[in-house]
Amino acid sequence: MTGIRIRQAAELLGVSDDTVRRWIDNGSLAAEKDESGRKVVDGPALAEFARANASKSPDLLGSESSARNRFTGIVTAVVMDKVMAQVEMQCGPFRVVSLMSSEAVRDLGLEPGKVAVAVVKSTTVIVETPGGVA
């Protein structure tokens, strides 16, 4: 069993420790005790719980797309020169940075405080494990 401590499970799910404890107490999420007597959640069980309870980002675009990675957020910074721009967004706990033309920034009216959707379509996604442990 891959035991994940309650605090880490909460961080991974973007909720409080107390919320994870409530889910365990009401039977929504199974937990066991590790060799030290601490409650831990089985990794595959947490993954299934996360998948089953994931909420979709609001569809602000109103269109279909082949891109499955959409992050609704708020523009936090725009750095623009004559040709290119860097747009930063906060999408939940994630900071997303996009480089685009200054013309696109003007056309979309991107500025701090504007709600937008970051759509990611990539053939390269790098996956790492903490501490290099497989």
State residue 130's pLDDT score: 76
Q: What is the mean pLDDT of the chain?
A: 86
| Full strand arrangement of the beta sheet holding 69-80 | 94-101, 84-91, 69-80, 115-120
The token pair that represents 35 in the structure block: 């060799």
The pLDDT tens digits of the residues spanning 109-129 come to: 999 999 898 988 877 877 787
pLDDT at 55 over 80: no
The pLDDT tens digits of the residues spanning 62-100 come to: 666 777 788 888 899 999 999 999 999 988 778 899 999
Q: What is the pTM of this model?
A: 0.64
Tell me what percent of the residues of the chain surpass a pLDDT of 70. 88
